Chain A
């Protein structure tokens, strides 16, 4: 039987969960506060801050920028990452360990340093702070996550299925598009989702790369924080929470369905 030690661990774990969720819960709670200050006490429930948010041009612009940036990052990063993962999982590549380490190097370099290096180098080449610089930066630091996620999923796809297709007369290109790619879809989707979410959430590099006047959602929140926490920020926080939590859950559900269809 499990003794008091286990009870202590259970209690501790509950406290850890509370610690992780408490701040998030408070943001959601305050976003419905009718008070004109973004703080306690709660004076009543209201959805007005979400309406204000919708009517705030700066925030909606930032939202569009983040969305476009995240989507482009996901497409490019996933393409690069899936191709590289295929090479590493499917072929005997000389220097495999070195290549793997190189591919995850952007995680190991502090993001500030990566941001400075990319900014200064591209500026030297005549590409100042701009949307392409921002995109290039986001692709580089999301790439390792895509490679890791996709690689982990790819390993589980058996080569036998492809070999069967080939031996039944399908061409390699046909095999890739009709057998391998459908089987890989959950991995590709997971990678793209990871890249999108990380890009959508980034602020450390973005503050270095974004041109003047362009804001993403996190940098917009950051600049609004300079004054005080307005109720709008809490509402924006709630939207972001729904967005960043809902999307992966949705993605997981879609991936499961794709996997089921692929398997059955």
Chain B
């Protein structure tokens, strides 16, 4: 074999274990649940293979599923917006601070490393009837009865924001850090106010990072079922909770497949739009 042919083969040898794992454990299984979603659930024994539209009729036709899907998208959108409003100024501060940027960033990323379930549950310690906030309010005499603040949509969003904010800050920071500060100074010296320089120079240049952070927050937020289980009430189920119910509780795997694919399709459209306009490189930058 010639040297060139060997050179050309080598990367594929290196790539083959990872690509094989991805094909066998991700892509084939995804195709498989497409097939499975057309099978028929049988109460006793194995599900019946075939081409039945029953699951899709239920998943797409039932107003119950549609309402929860819309509710999930709304929660994810609010979460993303709050993350952007909280995260952008913080990322801007870190990127423009004269102190130790790496340390500041590392500090903000610390909670990111802390267990998701612990961080989610910790809000019960703060907002619960015998939590920190109620203790303070009671001891100050502001309220006479503990307030019931937990287990509603707001606490679900709060938990999600706490979970996802580091993703937003990191992506915006990467973007802001790459902008030459001379551009802002140039705008200033040409007569722009600070605010004008920011809105007309810095903000537009940082939009790719904001979009990458936004995409991550939205997709991760819309796919969660643990946060609503821990911090939500009985009526705050999100779409992934329906998937969990169908697969784990009801063992209705064909319906669970159809619901999973619905979620994948909705979020996949967003990822595709993002990829079309900004490409995956920006996302990789923020994560790497």
Q: How far is the CB of B19 from chain A (nearest CB, A)?
A: 7
Residues in B neighbouring A197, C-beta threshold 8 A: 113
Contacting pair B264 A120 (CB below 8 A): no
Contacting pair B87 A148 (CB below 8 A): no
B68 near A: Cβ within 8 Å?
Answer: no
B253-288 CB mask vs A (1 if < 8 Å, else 0) is: 100110011011001100100010000100110011
A188 near B: Cβ within 8 Å?
Answer: no
Known: A5-B195, A204-B225, A237-B122. A109 touches B26 (CB 8 A): yes
Residues in A neighbouring B220, C-beta threshold 8 A: 110
Contacting pair A222 B117 (CB below 8 A): yes
Contacting pair B118 A139 (CB below 8 A): no
A221 near B: Cβ within 8 Å?
Answer: yes
Residues in B neighbouring A34, C-beta threshold 8 A: none
B44 near A: Cβ within 8 Å?
Answer: no
B92-130 CB mask vs A (1 if < 8 Å, else 0) is: 111000000000000110110111111101111110101
- Name A's interface SS: helix
Contacting pair B117 A241 (CB below 8 A): no
Bound-state Cα–Cα, A98 to B93, Å? 36
A64 near B: Cβ within 8 Å?
Answer: no
Known: A103-B18, A113-B264, A237-B118. A121 touches B90 (CB 8 A): no
Contacting pair A83 B17 (CB below 8 A): yes
- Interface size class on chain A is 35 or more
Of the A-B pairs whose beta carbons lie under 8 Å apart in the complex, a sample of 11, sorted by A's number, is A9-B89, A20-B108, A26-B125, A39-B130, A84-B18, A91-B7, A113-B264, A120-B29, A137-B25, A229-B121, A237-B122
Contacting pair A245 B110 (CB below 8 A): yes
Residues on B facing A (Cβ under 8 Å): 7, 10-12, 14-15, 17-19, 21-22, 25-30, 32-33, 36, 86-87, 89-90, 92-94, 107-108, 110-111, 113-119, 121-126, 128, 130-132, 134-135, 162, 165-166, 169, 194-195, 219-220, 222-226, 229-230, 240, 243-244, 247-248, 253, 256-257, 260-261, 263-264, 267-268, 271, 275, 280, 283-284, 287-288
A21 near B: Cβ within 8 Å?
Answer: yes
A254 near B: Cβ within 8 Å?
Answer: no
Contacting pair A207 B29 (CB below 8 A): no
Contacting pair B121 A204 (CB below 8 A): no
Of the candidates B108, B122, B130, B165, which one forms a contact with A27 in the assembled complex, judged by CB atoms under 8 Å apart?
B122
Residues in A neighbouring B224, C-beta threshold 8 A: 204
A59 near B: Cβ within 8 Å?
Answer: no
Contacting pair B114 A207 (CB below 8 A): no
A181 near B: Cβ within 8 Å?
Answer: no
Residues in B neighbouring A43, C-beta threshold 8 A: none
A14-47 CB mask vs B (1 if < 8 Å, else 0) is: 0011011111101100100000011111000000
Of the candidates A41, A105, A116, A237, which one forms a contact with B115 in the assembled complex, judged by CB atoms under 8 Å apart?
A237
Of the candidates A39, A84, A106, A112, which one forms a contact with B19 in the assembled complex, judged by CB atoms under 8 Å apart?
A84
Contacting pair A244 B14 (CB below 8 A): no
Bound-state Cα–Cα, A5 to B268, Å? 39
Of the candidates A21, A84, A241, which one forms a contact with B14 in the assembled complex, judged by CB atoms under 8 Å apart?
A84
Known: A100-B280, A103-B18, A208-B248. A225 touches B32 (CB 8 A): no
Bound-state Cα–Cα, A105 to B21, Å? 12
Contacting pair B26 A241 (CB below 8 A): no
Residues in B neighbouring A16, C-beta threshold 8 A: 86-87, 89-90, 108, 165, 169
Contacting pair A201 B17 (CB below 8 A): no
Known: A23-B125, A84-B18, A101-B280. A124 touches B32 (CB 8 A): yes
Of the candidates A10, A117, A120, which one forms a contact with B93 in the assembled complex, judged by CB atoms under 8 Å apart?
A10
Q: How far is the CB of B47 from chain A (nearest CB, A)?
A: 10
Residues in B neighbouring A13, C-beta threshold 8 A: 89-90, 93-94
Known: A112-B244, A225-B230. A40 touches B115 (CB 8 A): no
Known: A108-B271, A140-B21. A113 touches B260 (CB 8 A): yes
Of the listed residues B25, B89, B93, B253, the one surrounded by the most CB atoms of chain A closer than 10 A to its CB is B25
A157 near B: Cβ within 8 Å?
Answer: no
| Chain B: CB-nearest residue to A193 | B113
Known: A93-B15, A116-B260. A221 touches B29 (CB 8 A): no
Bound-state Cα–Cα, A81 to B14, Å? 9
Residues in A neighbouring B15, C-beta threshold 8 A: 83-84, 87-88, 93, 99
Contacting pair B25 A140 (CB below 8 A): yes
Residues in A neighbouring B118, C-beta threshold 8 A: 24, 27, 221, 236-237, 240-241
Bound-state Cα–Cα, A112 to B36, Å? 16
A119 near B: Cβ within 8 Å?
Answer: yes
Residues in B neighbouring A121, C-beta threshold 8 A: 28-29, 32-33
- Other than the given A23-B162, A84-B15, A222-B229, 18 more pairs (CB < 8 A) read A16-B87, A17-B90, A19-B86, A20-B162, A26-B125, A91-B11, A100-B280, A103-B22, A110-B267, A120-B33, A139-B25, A148-B287, A204-B225, A207-B248, A221-B118, A222-B226, A237-B122, A244-B114
Known: A16-B87, A112-B244, A152-B288. A105 touches B121 (CB 8 A): no
